[in-house]
Structure 1
Amino acid sequence: MTESHRPSLSYRDAGVDIDAGDQLVENIKPFAKRTMRPEVLSGIGGFGGLVEISKKYQEPVLVSGTDGVGTKLKLAIELNRHDTVGIDLVAMSVNDILVQGAEPLFFLDYYACGKLDVTTATEVVKGIAQGCEQAGCALIGGETAEMPGMYPVGEYDLAGFAVGVVEKRKIITGETIVPGDVLLGLASNGAHSNGYSLIRKILHLTEADFTAPFDGERPLADVVMAPTRIYVKPLLKLMDALPVKGMAHITGGGLTENVPRVLPEGVTAQIDASSWPLPKLFQWLQREGNVAEQEMYRTFNCGIGMVVVVAAEHADEAVRILSGEGETVYRIGEIRSRQGDEHPTQVA
């Protein structure tokens, strides 16, 4: 090699701190350990996570889902509140696979940034572990990517995916839904992780004070950053107790675009908007943003984070079970025959 007078460069000089990444792994190991399940054969630290399928399943089917947190992260960074977006990340995937009857088994995350701040990243992953505990699934690994020049200073992005398992004969498809079935709505914690581009625009236009009391004694920051509710354990208990015909996780697209995803041809979900109280956050967003009513229902969950379809004769028992598990449940409508080319979900 020819002699060079240039200084010797390291990965750290290029903006990547391997030691910081190693420290993050050590920081999160105790949180991940609390999420372990008997099926997990290897967890954090290896090149891959090993999980076996429980022998209680005769015909196991794996169900997977992936998602992010979206522009709610911009608010988290602006408010320097990183402890709950990890819960959002887990919720968006585990609630999705749950609606097909799957019990979440494990979760992996992807954390990307320009420069790794170990304190911030630890808070985020601690939240991810909390979400996994709520869902009963194991956090078996993930990836931290430090990419100088890809993200502005102080910003990061999150993605993750969950894998669950369901007995083949118990997969929930919605195909048994018929007119007369009842729609149950499970209350949300707030806006969850959807519609935040519009929320942020309204917050900006109104120059909102995040520290001011907004809902009772809760400041606005607490209300807009409330994490997505994870419905896994109550709904798994419900599915063990009685036939659940269909479920819809109310995410991007709101009530009017998510409920149809579980409906068979020829039926419509008739939702009575007066059957549950519109939370103060959504009242404020509608008023301050001058948002049309139907736009509200196709953008936000409007207070209903999950819709469950059961036969009319099972509705009261379903409400009792879910309420006993700590859910706030509303009887929000019913299934009827579709008329002509009308939209498969009507909210009125």
Structure 2
Amino acid sequence: MVSVRIFGAGSIGNHLGFACRQKGWQVELCDRDKAALERTRKDIYPGRYGAWDEAIQLTPADGLADEYRDVVIVGTPPEYHIPVALDQIRKISPKIVLIEKPLCPPSLDGVKELVETAREHECLVLVGYNHTLTRNTRAAEQLVADKTVGDVVTIDAGFREYWGGIFAAHPWLDGPKDSYLGYLSKGGGATGEHSHAINIWQHFAHLTGHGRITKVAAMHQIVRDGGVEYDQIGQMLVETESGLIGNIVQDVVTEPPEKKVKMIGTSGYIEWQVNATSDSDAVRCKSGGKPVHEQLFKKTRPDDFVGEIDHIAMLLENPKLDSPISLTRGIETMLVIEAAYEASRENRFVAIDYSRFPLSL
């Protein structure tokens, strides 16, 4: 049986714990806040999934034993992602560590050490951009592979979502000031929290043969009030190695949310969407003179994480498989975040230097 240790008893820890239990895996859920563990047992888990699962082991972080686990999942605030991952890799040497997005704060502190330590211990590190592994993504990938709309000439991506839903899922937080979300330096704000848009843009850029983002221009609308400092809107103009140009928008103000990617081709377009309806993701394709074809993919919120855990199961069997949630891809996304903030501050295009992390990239 696969053994899993999850750090963080918040929303993501519960979702991934439930997904692991659906595969029959052994789950240990840890948190430094004992009240968070109790909240999980009494409220969050049974409220979402119908009943508490007595097979889940709840462990305060200060009582954690250095026992081997196959998989470690780090669902803490971003500033603790790399320190927790490093600690676990060195102490128990798991096969896989999954770090929730974003990989780290925009300072990128600890990234090089994480890469080197993971290599030393032969540990596969992943970053939790789960939307690259959903059913609508696989459908869009097939349309791209089949050249349904010809060659892709530009890509637009946007994750626009008022973050009231995040606080509704975390009612113990009284707004952004109470967590990392209100501090861009800790990985919060629109650019960090909704970096799914950057990552899925990169995913499709790679699939269409356009390579990595090499140049970024950006503007951010920064909120500074009562000690918080976060971007509520971030907009990026990006260029890839091949010269592909596109746009990425992320915000925490749009209601109802819009989470879309649109790939414009030489003979049509492909549109990818999360939560196109209350219970479905979607892919739409307009090719030549044909009418728009729409595919809907029924889902529940827990289904958003099924593909991610299925992917981990495959990697446990074959660690050499290509992974869209690899540490390499997670670092690429962080380099875009770092460059975007610099571009916004200095009002100029910023080139990305991938040679800074040669072992991973």
Pairwise TM-score range, normalised by the shorter structure: under 0.3
Larger Rg: 1
Say which structure is richer in strand. 2
TM (norm. structure 1) is: 0.25
TM (norm. structure 2) is: 0.25
